[in-house]
Chains A and B, each alone.
Chain A
């Protein structure tokens, strides 16, 4: 039996290969993920090992002991025999001021101590390390972006936001430091770093010399972690590797989607193959093969296909992983390119997943193969299609049950449940349930959907068009599985597109509703703004409204809480909060409103009073309302006059500015920029900027998701090509008849492309509808007051792309069909 199976496989190499492609792509994704992340880890480990090489022993803060690394400790370590050099590493926020006089980036740059001797662990790209208090080095990436070079003078704000001037003496690659690579960094000599950052303690002490780990430990006691150089390197690499783990987990989720689609394609291919080889199976049964042997034969075939596909997939994965690495390293210079790392684990997982998924997918078709009666060998093969199709009672019941269940859960999650993560999970779950309903009921939907998707081609495509539309509907089960493979990818893509578009719309809407101002002024670090700024702005012409938001950390009823207030005239007009109970106008002198989390605190009810600790002692304040948490407020909101009386005229944390509508955006911006010029730390963002930022961030995520889901769609297209190829084989005589009756080769090819397009359209339309509906559900489950937006253009694009891809999938099968000789096919039995 094994020999028969293998001989059969050898005879149909092309078929084997086509089937294996689906598995190859899926396994390629999985092993590519492992190769990529392993290689990245290897590169990280190497980099850290090299940098930690310079350190012989390192002393670190121990959370359990809670003892800071202080200056006296450093002195003590310096006196340990064998220690030739010891340096305390200091870091803190020190914002670099760009050439335009504003602090650079969205967050303050990190100030780091850069030792000049042996213990310098960063690569100096240009110049030299700082040697005195008037010198600084800048992170190479930041310097390039902001246009700094060696010899320039740079202004850096200290922790109190006072500006200081430094001479730039070097450009340094701080890349191996996580924080520095995210926020950007400037470096000073150790002493300067201490006063610039305001940090009194070190976060690490590096030691060079012959002193052993044990000797250092003995000298400073057990309250600190003492590591050797290699240990330090391993620890740092592990911290940096956490990112890699995240990347791996994320990629594997998409790999799972790809494997699911592969499984659908494999299942369909085997189901068609078994159906086509009924006579072959029956012949085997005639000459004495048992059911078990027929079953085993099909499974063996699937195992060989799975193995071949997986081996090719692992090879593809190495290429894919390395390719992705090159791409990533181009975007992020910290990722070093090394040779691809193919672990035994990767090979085992790839082979295991590939073979198991293939064999499992072939189980049902294999069972169908055993049901062939031996006499079927003697009967002429029945052409599929042309008969009426009925979904079985059980299947119908299952589909209806799952569909109504899924919808009910979805509606519950979207409309009834409290918004948030849990509701979103519920919606996701309902989506899965509903998808299962679609899987079960799809065969019954193929005919109506085929008529819908085929309406245009059937009208415009002439006879080939009409034949193609009929062909796409003739084997509903087969078409259903083929199209569902595409539904998965297109559905998830439209889902993300809808969620992305809705998030953008929601963000814009909320911003508009709560702060209809054009500009927001705040510091990078969240520290207070200069007290005079608000009045300065008010004094300028063309400025219509200035809203100051002040906050103060205090205690109410003995609990620590945040107190906030806004400019009195803006409350209720420019500034709005979503009230849960009470109204905004209830906020009168001597009252307060609290956020919704207060509902869970005993005594914090509307009508009760709070005892707030103020400058004038404890003051009772009545709670008159409760508001929903939003982007801007949390804690206790007080009327401005009360707030100032209780806590003094605290400098505002945020200022919102609205200028005259008559001004152009550029003119308006100029006025605000003018006002903040003396304060480099104050950062002006326009709401348009902010919306643009949000938009760009969301689009980026969408792009990455789209790229990753692209593979699932490609696999589904191989599925369409596969189904079409097998259908072409099945319909050899039919095609020959059509050709004999006067169908030209071009018409035959067109017929098959239209069939593929119709299948792709059925899959894509189903996906778009599912994605749209559950995108809506997810959006409304996400947050209160979310705005639903349908990205029409994107969705039309998906459908169009699916159609184009369908045409592409039909190229090879169509060519093959057109090449077949009419006479031979007619004689073919």
Chain B
């Protein structure tokens, strides 16, 4: 296995700074007794600021559970998770909600947008929930970069799948959160639309210093990241820096996926 390790993390951006999100000995058990399922078994991992990290693993490896716990959507059974200097594993529902609203962005695989709101309303939703005034210049820039300027008045049902995901990305970025969690953001898209979305996510990291954690099972999508973390049976088993699709695929094969 050592032969597949790539370069040490010398040139990865932000590697020296304190991590944006850290998991320490995080475990998650569903059910009790004989029916207990250990989704996460003592996961310890840090996600560097200003870096694009992908989490990969075979089905049932716990990658989505890990992301849900990191984002404060789900509770942990053991261990702790830090967002910056805040321990989110000690927060109640209300604090968690406000933390998500103010400090985290999301892009999901599907059903990212509210059908009753226009694209613009969807993009501004988290900021409105927080009662914050959007920065119009920044909004305009994000919308221009994502090519959504002429789609702002449309409702989700009038947008293509790729456009919908781009609206979701815009929503995540406009609020300038400390970290964006993306759960299979290209899972429902064709390869061209997927490449657009991934390219945008990567450039937001490179050019705007955004921090992104993405769960995926697509080696090509993972290759857009600066670093790939591999999970199997609820444990982190290896990682790759500056991945290529081939390297990711090889590592997955080695993990027996």
CB-nearest residue of chain B to A827: B64
Per-residue CB proximity of B83-119 to A under 8 Å, as 1/0?
Answer: 0000000000110011011100010101110111100
Whether A734 is near chain B, meaning CB under 8 Å from some CB there, is yes
Please indicate the chain A residues that have their CB under 8 angstroms from the CB of B125 in the complex. 463, 741
State whether B74 touches A744 (Cβ < 8 A): no
Known A386-B155, A467-B116, A471-B116: A733·B111 in contact at CB below 8 Å: yes
Given A741-B100, A742-B126, decide whether A386 and B116 contact each other with a Cβ distance below 8 A. Answer: yes
Bound complex: CA of A826 vs CA of B106, how far in Å? Answer: 12
Q: Does B38 contact A (CB under 8 A)?
A: no
Chain B min CB distance to A736 (Å)? 9
By beta carbon, the residue of chain B nearest A733 is: B111
Contacts of B131 in A (CB 8 A): 462
The answer to whether B36 has its CB under 8 Å from any CB of chain A is: no
Residues of B within 8 A of A415 (CB): none
Whether A391 sits at the interface, judged by CB under 8 Å, is: no
Q: Is the CB of B73 closer than 8 A to any CB of chain A? A: yes
Contact of A737 with B98 in the complex, beta carbons under 8 Å: no
A734 → chain B closest CB, angstroms = 6
Q: Report if A734-B111 is in contact (Cβ < 8 Å); known contacts: A742-B126, A745-B93, A822-B73.
A: yes
Q: Which residues of B contact A740 (CB under 8 A)?
A: 71, 73, 100, 106, 108
* A743 interface contact, C-beta 8 A: yes
C-alpha spacing A386/B31, complex, angstroms: 38
Contact B73 A741 (CB under 8 A): no
* B106 near A386: Cβ-Cβ < 8 Å: no
Given A463-B129, A741-B106, A741-B125, A823-B98 contact (CB < 8 Å): no
**Residue A739 is within 8 A (CB to CB) of chain B in the complex:** yes
Question: Whole-angstrom distance between the alpha carbons of A380 and B188 in the complex?
Answer: 12
Chain B residues with Cβ below 8 Å from A670 are: none
Q: Are B156 and A741 in contact (CB under 8 A)?
A: no
Whole-angstrom distance between the Cβ of B66 and the nearest chain A Cβ: 12
Per-residue interface assignment for chain A, residues 461 to 503, with 1 indicating a CB less than 8 Å from any chain B CB and 0 otherwise: 0110001001100100000000000000000000000000000
Given known pairs A743-B97, A744-B97, A745-B94, the reply for A463 and B115 (CB within 8 Å) is no
Q: A821 CA to B30 CA in the complex, in Å?
A: 14
Q: In whole angstroms, what is the CA distance A822 to B64 when docked?
A: 13
Verify A744–B94 contact, CB threshold 8 A: yes
- Contact A737 B108, CB 8 Å, known A385-B116, A742-B102: yes
How far does the alpha carbon of A383 sit from the alpha carbon of B117 in the complex, in Å? 13
A377 at interface, CB cutoff 8 A:
no
* Contact indicator B116/A470 (Cβ below 8 Å): yes
List residues of chain A with CB within 8 A of the CB of B93: 744-745
Residue B68 interfacial (CB < 8 Å):
yes
Roughly how many angstroms separate A738 CA and B106 CA in the complex, as a whole number?
Answer: 11
Residues of chain A within 8 A (CB-CB) of B140 are none
Q: CB of B203 within 8 A of chain A?
A: no
Chain B residues contacting A462 (CB-CB under 8 Å) are 128, 131
Closest chain-B Cβ to A534's Cβ sits at a distance in Å of 77
- Write out the residue numbers on chain A whose beta carbons fall within 8 Å of the beta carbon of B129: 463, 741-743, 747
A704 to B31, CA, bound (A): 56
**CB-based contact B94/A386 at 8 Å:** no
Most A-side CB within 10 Å, residue of B74, B106, B111, B130: B111
Across the interface, do B111 and A386 meet the contact criterion of CB distance under 8 Å? no
Q: With the chains together, A119 CA to B33 CA distance in Å?
A: 85
Q: Is the CB of A741 within 8 A of B126?
A: yes
Q: Which residues of A contact B126 (CB under 8 A)?
A: 741-742
CA distance A563 to B43 in the complex (A): 108
- Looking at the assembled complex, report how far the CB atom of A819 sits from the nearest CB atom of chain B, in whole angstroms: 11
A390 within 8 A of B: no
**Complex formed: what's the CA distance from A741 to B102 in Å?**
9
Contact code string A360-385 (vs B, CB < 8 Å = 1, else 0)? 00000000000000000000100101
Task: Name the B residues within 8 Å of A467 (CB-CB).
Answer: 114, 116-117
Interface string of B144-173 (1 = CB under 8 A from A): 000000000001110000000000000100
Contacts of A385 in B (CB 8 A): 115-116
Do residues B115 and A386 form an inter-chain contact, with CB atoms below 8 A? yes
Min distance, Cβ B131 to any Cβ of chain A, angstroms: 8
Taken together as a complex, chains A and B put the C-alpha atoms of A743 and B102 apart, in Å, by: 11
A383 touches B97 (CB 8 A): no
> Does A387 interact with chain B (Cβ within 8 Å)?
yes
- Distance, CA A471 to CA B125, complexed state (A): 15
Knowing A387-B157, A822-B73, say if A474 contacts B115 (CB, 8 Å).
yes
Q: Report Cα–Cα, A769/B147, bound state, in Å.
A: 48
A733 to B94, CA, bound (A): 19
A356 to B116, CA, bound (A): 37
B121 → A minimal CB distance (Å) = 8
Across-interface contacts of A743 in B (CB, < 8 A):
97, 101, 129
Residues of A within 8 Å of B130, CB to CB, are 742
Give 1 or 0 for each of B54-66: 1 = CB within 8 Å of chain A CB: 0000000000100
Q: Which residue of A lies closest to B131 (CB)?
A: A462
Question: With the chains together, A744 CA to B112 CA distance in Å?
Answer: 18
A738→B114 contact, CB < 8 A:
yes
Report Cα–Cα, A474/B155, bound state, in Å.
12
Write the chain A residue with the least CB distance to B103.
Answer: A742
Report the nearest A residue to B112, measured CB to CB: A737
Contact check, A823 vs B74: say whether CB atoms are below 8 A apart.
yes
- Across the interface, B117 reaches (CB within 8 A) one of A470, A733, A745, A821, namely A470
A742 — which chain B residues lie within 8 A by C-beta?
A: 97-98, 100-102, 126, 129-130
CA distance A269 to B171 in the complex (A): 35
Q: List 11 A-B contacts (CB under 8 A).
A: A386-B157, A462-B131, A737-B114, A742-B97, A743-B129, A744-B93, A744-B98, A745-B97, A821-B74, A823-B73, A826-B108
Binding site for B on A (CB under 8 A): 380, 383, 385-387, 462-463, 467, 470-471, 474, 733-734, 737-745, 747, 821-823, 826-827
Q: List chain B positions with a Cβ less than 8 A from chain A.
A: 64, 68, 71, 73-74, 93-94, 97-98, 100-102, 106, 108, 110-112, 114-117, 125-126, 128-131, 155-157, 171
**Known contacts A383-B115, A734-B111, A742-B130; can you find 7 more A-B pairs with CB under 8 A?**
A383-B111, A467-B116, A470-B116, A737-B111, A740-B71, A744-B94, A821-B74
Please give me the 10 A-B residue pairs with the lowest Cβ-Cβ distance, nearest first: A742-B101, A386-B115, A470-B116, A386-B157, A823-B74, A744-B97, A742-B129, A463-B128, A386-B155, A823-B68
